[in-house]
């Protein structure tokens, strides 16, 4: 069966993409940002997921104000990079996993999460920047990708609790998919930032640290944060952090934080990054072996009973 083995949280600042595309990664300002993802790329290369579910938001690229879906699941076979006004980013087209995506859609809709199904979609920096940060700049992406676009542009976005519960429903869906697939789920956006109005430039590192701490230790506490607190404390656009709770909801209650990185600023934003691993990813095989053993033992007992009765 398919299994979610880990979650990745990462900011998706557009200027990071621009720095990559314009060869600025060695400049001290950007080196500070990119060096924080060196270990992560190594981790990803070792982890070798088959599929990445990437929770992100569109920034007036695929969706304008004509349609504003709260949750939109990408079920297409491929997702080209969007033209955000400077031509599409020079990154490979992302290959989808339509079969798993359709399975997830069916499962979570029956679990009462009314997703929008998207069969044609271009993806912007919200998705491609975290892909670069974790996979580098390969000619082809090494895994298939299922985009999940969340409205965090128009207020109100879904609540943190709703996001967390959707994560749980996605996990259930993935685990009921018969093919053996290693799945990593991304939560992207944030951390604290405000890019609009006279209060633009707001950063709240204390809040960000508390958020990352609780993401690992006590995510349920985060699910109770009301929108007003995100906006007041972490900036009007900091509210996109709710997307990280979808990722967290899809993981075990207890996880291992294997890596964290935080730096201020990238352009106007605090950059946050975390990698959380499920603990039982190796244990699952043991568990299955154990279950098989006890089934065999029960069968032997039953056989014995039948045999005794027959005597």
Partner 1 sequence: MARAQHDYDDIPGTFVFDAERSRQGYGINMFCMSLMKDENRKAFKANEAEYLKRFNLTPAQTDAILKRDYNRMLELGGNIYFTAKLGATDGHSFQHLAALMTGSSQQEYAAMMLAGGRSVEGNRTRSGKSKPGNSKSKSKSSAKRK
Strand partners, 81: 123
Residue 161 designated active-site: no
Binding mask 126-165 for partner 1 (x = CB under 8 A): ---------------------------xxxx---------
Structure tokens at 171: 């996990």
* Cβ(183)–Cβ(174) below 8 Å: yes
CA distance 246 to 169: 10
In which order are the strands placed within the sheet that holds 182-188?
A: 116-118, 71-74, 144-150, 51-56, 182-188, 3-10, 269-278, 255-266
Residue 273 designated active-site: no
The total number of residues shown for the chain amounts to: 311
- Which CB, 144 or 192, lies closer to partner 1? 192
Cβ contacts of 122 within 8 Å, gap of 6 or more: 61, 62, 79, 80, 81, 82, 83, 88
Helix (H) or strand (E) holding 143: none
- Scanning 195-203, 241-249, 278-286, 295-303 for contacts with partner 1 by CB under 8 A, the matching segment is 195-203
- Scanning 4-12, 103-111, 136-144, 203-211 for contacts with partner 1 by CB under 8 A, the matching segment is 203-211
The reply to whether 93 sits near partner 1 by the rule CB under 8 A is: no
- Which CB, 197 or 310, lies closer to partner 1? 197
Active-site option among 97, 125, 273, 280? 125
Q: Binders of partner 1 among 31-60, rule CB under 8 A?
A: 59-60
Binding mask 220-259 for partner 1 (x = CB under 8 A): -xx-xxxxxx-xxx--xx----------------------
Core vs surface per residue 135-172: b (16+ CB within 10 A) or e: beeeeebebbbbbbbbbbbeeebbbbbbbbbbbbbbbe
Among 182, 256, 264, 281, binds partner 1 (CB under 8 A): 264
Active-site residues, by number, are 125, 193
- Contacting residues toward partner 1, per CB under 8 A: 14-15, 59-60, 64-66, 68, 83, 85-86, 153-156, 192, 194-207, 209-211, 213-214, 221-222, 224-229, 231-233, 236-237, 264-265, 267-268, 270
């Amino acid at each position: 069966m398919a299994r979610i083995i880990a979650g990745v949280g990462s900011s998706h600042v557009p200027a990071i993409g621009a720095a990559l595309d314009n060869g600025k990664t060695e400049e001290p300002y950007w080196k500070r940002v990119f060096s924080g993802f060196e270990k992560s790329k190594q981790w990803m290369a070792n982890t070798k997921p088959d599929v990445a579910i990437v929770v992100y938001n569109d920034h007036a690229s695929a969706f304008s104000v004509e349609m504003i879906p709260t949750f939109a699941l990408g079920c297409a076979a491929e997702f080209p990079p969007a033209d955000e006004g400077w031509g599409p980013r020079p990154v490979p087209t992302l290959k989808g996993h339509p079969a798993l995506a359709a399975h997830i859609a069916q499962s979570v809709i029956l679990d009462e999460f009314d997703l929008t199904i998207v069969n044609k979609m271009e993806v912007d920096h919200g998705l491609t920047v975290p892909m670069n940060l974790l996979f580098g700049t390969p000619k082809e992406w090494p895994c298939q990708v299922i985009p999940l676009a969340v409205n965090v542009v128009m207020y109100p976005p879904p609540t943190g609790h709703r996001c967390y519960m959707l994560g749980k429903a996605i996990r259930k869906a993935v685990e009921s998919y018969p093919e053996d697939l290693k799945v990593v789920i991304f939560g992207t956006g944030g951390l604290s930032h405000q890019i609009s109005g006279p209060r633009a430039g707001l950063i709240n590192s204390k809040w960000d640290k508390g958020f990352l701490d609780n993401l690992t230790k006590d995510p349920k506490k985060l699910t109770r944060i009301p929108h007003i607190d995100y906006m007041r404390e972490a900036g009007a656009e900091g509210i996109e952090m709710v997307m990280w709770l979808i990722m967290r909801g899809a993981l075990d209650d207890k996880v291992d934080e294997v890596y964290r990185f935080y730096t201020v600023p990238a352009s106007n934003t605090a950059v946050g990054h975390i990698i959380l691993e499920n603990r039982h990813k190796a244990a699952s095989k043991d568990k299955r072996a154990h279950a098989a053993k006890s089934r065999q033992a029960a069968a032997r007992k039953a056989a014995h009973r039948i045999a005794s009765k027959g005597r």
